Structures are given as structure tokens and as C-alpha cells.
Structure 1
Amino acid sequence: MGFGSYDESEQENQDYDTDFDDDDGVNTAENTHDGDVEYEFSASNDELLDKLADIKEQDQENT
């Protein structure tokens, strides 16, 4: 058999284990969090825009 070839008879004889236990799941409500997030920026908008321009310039130089 060549690369990517398969025996079609193998496809017919596959067994799938579809028995799932309820204990195997993840309780998504287990780790919920209520609260607030606050951010403090020490840089001005102009400083952030200059940094973004530098990053874009470096990215163009690397491509």
C-alpha cells in the first residue's frame, strides 16, 4: 500500500466506546468568579501609540 492508502475492511470493523460516565465530566460552575477588575495604566496614549508603531515597524522588517 502506498502513502495514504487504507484497507476498507478495517474501516468496517472499528469498535467505538461510547459509554461515558457522568463522573468523567467537568463541572463548569465549580470555578465561577464574581468580582471587578481594575487596570491602572502608567503610560499615556501617545506613549502607547508610539510603542505600537515601533512593534508594527519591527514586524514589517522581519517579514
Structure 2
Amino acid sequence: MGFGSYDESEQENQEYDTDFEDDDGVSAEENTHDGDVEYEFTASNDELIDQLSEIKENT
């Protein structure tokens, strides 16, 4: 056989592992969270805008 030659019978007998149900991957529901998140804002809008302005000046 020369360069680029192949046995056609080998091409017909190839098996591919397409079982995607294996435990090799990560389950998307493995780390779900069913709780609540609450935020308490103690700064006024003006204070937050001032802080943002300072951050932008320093970058």
C-alpha cells in the first residue's frame, strides 16, 4: 500500500463510543440550590454612584 491507501474493510467496521449517559461527565443538577437570596442595601444611590466613580478613576 502506498501513502494514503487504506483497507476499506476497516472503514466499515469502525465502532464509535457514542454513549453519552456515562458517569464521566458532570451532572447539571448536581449543584442546584433551592434557597432564597436576600440583599440589604445600606448605601444610598448617590453613595453607590460616588463609589463607582472612584473605582472608574482608579482603573
Q: State the TM-score bracket (shorter-chain normalisation).
A: 0.5 to 0.7
Larger radius of gyration: 2
TM-score by length of 2: 0.54
Provide runs of 4+ in structure 1 moved above 3 Å: 18-21
User: What is the count of residue pairs matched by the alignment?
Assistant: 43
Q: Which runs of 5+ in 1 are unaligned?
A: 1-17
Of Structure 1 and Structure 2, the greater helix share is in 1
Structure 1 position 39 matched with structure 2 position 39? yes
**Pairwise CA distance, 1:36:** 1.6
RMSD: 2.3
Q: Which runs of 5+ in 2 are unaligned?
A: 1-15
TM-score by length of 1: 0.52
- Taking only the aligned residue pairs, the percentage that are identical comes to 71
Cα distance in structure 1, aligned partners of 2:50 and 2:30: 42
